[in-house]
Chains A and B, each alone.
Chain A
Amino acid sequence: MNVGLCSSRAPASPRSLRGTLPMLPIVILAVIAVMLASMPPSLSRNQPVGTLKDASGHSIALAPPARRIVMFPPVLWDYLGLGADAKRLAAVSKLVRDSVTDSILHATYPAIAAVSTVVTRGAGTALPADAEDVMRHDPDAVLSWDALSDNLTNLDLPVVKLLLNAKTRGNEPHTADIANLRVMANLTGEQRTAEEMVGTYLAAVKRVSRRADEARAAAGRPSRAMFLSVRGGGQLYLEAPPFLQGRALQMAGADTKDFLPAGNFSAEQLLIWDPDVIFLDCCYGNHTPPAFFYDDPRFAGMSAVHNRRIYVAPAGVARMENMLEWPLLVSWLAEVLYPGHMAHTVRSDLARLYQEHYGFRPTPLELDTMLAIAENAASRDYALVGGAGH
């Protein structure tokens, strides 16, 4: 490699002006950066006109009700369930907007489609990105998951932190959701509605838990059941506690103690476990119908395949994960696990839930879609469960 030592343009001596001149711009820039970083500008303290405590216990300078909310995490269903005005949403992440516009209730909330979207890291995430974009919407409250909002709080933006309910605790699977709901209620002035929702949720959990216990006792032995999803390349993923689907299955009276831990597992492991009943997640991973297992010769020897007891879980409007729908997921699971030992009310309960909380009365066809009637047509007793009252 010719470095020019023998060329007509000999390099300058290190100590000559010509030798040091090329370094100057870089050194100047770096020194300015060091000076600025050592003596950075800072923001004056925002004098609170009112204060609100977020779910992580921090106080935010805000006088409720908030009038321009930027929402990153997918908590819109809880927000709408409070009866809060969609017009107060200044911007939402695409993930949030799609959760309504792609759902069966999109026509009930047409205003959501018109809400601006805010920039995130990745199209389908709740990760805040450009703080300027948040500022552009001039929010008086920015809803974000607790661990993801450093770049916004550093700029004294009014970040209201919410807790992520990734794991359940004891018998209160929605502890974080309840805390988040109360924060949103304080933000919007809908405290009474929030307490009604919490009361409804707690009563529903108690009722469905009792019904499931009775059905299991009547059946004689608990069914061995698992909740799984099929991901890219046919990878099987077990959705065991502490995740919500696994917790729902436990509360529904299934025997899940052998099916741990949550995570990827092989087809061979599935053959070893050989559950009585398999529930397929409606929404995480690839959408997989029961036929995936019924038609695959690898699984022909399994009890669940032989007895046609594989079911796609209902999608509801929010994957049946939020506070209002989750007790109905438990109820649905129990009715499928013990079909002869429970009254089949999930269809009418679902219809009533949407009417009461979202002002939406689903048609029979819409209920069929929510309850995955078509996908589960080949599975045993599903007409009894999902089609009751049809």
Chain B
Amino acid sequence: MSLTSASRTNLNSGERLLRSNLPIVFLSLAMVVAILGALTVGRYPVPFTEVARIVFTTNPFNAVIPHDDKAWIAVAMIRMPRVLLVTLCGIGLALSGAAMQGVFRNPLVGPEIAGVSSGASLGGVIAIAAGAGSLAIVGLSFAFGLLALIGAYGLAALGGRSNTLALVLAGFVVSGFCTSMFGLIQTLVESTTKLPSIVYWLLGSFVGATYEKVLLVAVITVLAGSLVLALRWRINLLSLGEDDARALGTNVNILRWVLMGLVSLIVAAQVAVSGGVGWVGLIIPHMARLLVGPEHGRLLPASALLGGIYLLSMDTIARTASTQEIPIGLLTSAIGTPIFAYLFWRLQVTGWARD
């Protein structure tokens, strides 16, 4: 092979690399734009040039900000943690939803399937009812989310079955129980401040985002999300069907339980920091499937990026669109449901596959 043809081959490999990941590249750029846009928008007026200066030319790590530098505070202490938190939660929820739809081979599945979301909500409600501070709300919510997962696993195992149906049913039971419990608490708490606090927390909001919350979600997203991404090839095998996956050497049960556990960690962390935010894990994988196809090697990262962009956009609207803070869970539901209706109709027409 001559030098010229060797160079041509390398260029072609590079081009091929870029082309095959073009949607991911675009989504990555879109995420960067969304993040910068969200940092620019807010109620405290900070000029775009000032935002750019703060983001690109100042070192934020362990920086000590003068207490009267309102622009810095607005960008670095209020917007930045919120933007990071929202983006990471969107990434986590969408990634989890795509993984669960692959595991269960069901387009109507979301990441809340094991009842973790309801369990985490119950923990948060208990903490608010007890008058606890925000860190305790996060801690208790996360703990109850994990307890709900253990409860669902235990309930499924009690029946002597380890298949997905048993786990889904157990998740329903756990979810129903937790929902009734936090409904009961709402009828008992003081109605002037605690009841509205509970109601608005359950509707979902990223108000009060702090770097501590970012750390919790970021660590879990890095650890659990990386493991989910690492298993994306095996989800491909699962989506062939259980028998085919077993024939190809996959331990289906263990893989399923591991993925559900990882997804539950991600969901528990999200609910702990923001309350209930639904529909992201359900609709974003479908949108990503339209962009990159059903192969999970591309689908999971694409879902994650799209989920981050989507939730960040919703949160930016929630905190700026009106004179009141709109609960983000309402926005994701109000906007997500018509999108899902359209996607579902389209999937009925074209099927799951996109060759």
Contacts and interface: CB of A to CB of B under 8 A. Distances in A.
Question: A and B, one complex?
Answer: yes
Interface of A: 1-5, 7, 9, 11-12, 14, 17-19, 21-23, 25-27, 29-31, 33-46, 94, 117, 119-123, 125-133, 135-136, 138, 145, 147-148, 150-151, 154-156, 164, 166-167, 263-264
A209 to B, nearest CB: 26
A30 B352 contact: no
B293 A4 contact: yes
A44 B67 contact: yes
A33 B84 contact: yes
B60 interface: yes
B24 A22 contact: yes
A36 B21 contact: no
Given A37-B211, A44-B65, 7 more contacts: A37-B212, A41-B76, A43-B66, A126-B193, A135-B73, A136-B45, A155-B77
Given A1-B294, A151-B208, A26 B65 contact: no
A132 B74 contact: yes
22 contacts: A3-B295, A4-B295, A11-B233, A11-B297, A14-B230, A18-B21, A23-B301, A25-B24, A26-B301, A30-B88, A30-B91, A30-B222, A36-B214, A37-B81, A37-B214, A37-B218, A46-B67, A129-B207, A130-B42, A151-B208, A155-B73, A164-B190
Contacts of B60: 36, 40-41
Interface residues of B, number: 88
B130 to A, nearest CB: 10
Nearest to A152: B208
B44 A136 contact: yes
Contact of B301 (A3, A22, A130, A132): A22
A35 to B, nearest CB: 7
Nearest to B62: A39
Scoring B79, B102, B205, B301 by chain A CB atoms within 10 A of each residue's CB, the highest score goes to: B301
Nearest to A6: B355
A41 B77 contact: yes
B305 A26 contact: yes
Nearest to A61: B67
B77 A43 contact: yes
A132 B42 contact: yes
A177 to B, nearest CB: 13
Interface stretch (B140-148, B276-284, B319-327): B319-327
Contacts of A151: 134, 207-208, 210
B70 interface: yes
B160 interface: no
A127 B200 CA distance: 9
Nearest to A135: B44
B219 A26 contact: no
B80 interface: yes
Q: Which 8 A-B pairs have the closest CB atoms?
A: A2-B353, A22-B301, A151-B208, A37-B215, A4-B295, A40-B211, A129-B325, A25-B28
A217 B301 CA distance: 79
A19 B304 contact: no
Interface in B46-86: 60-67, 70, 72-74, 76-81, 84
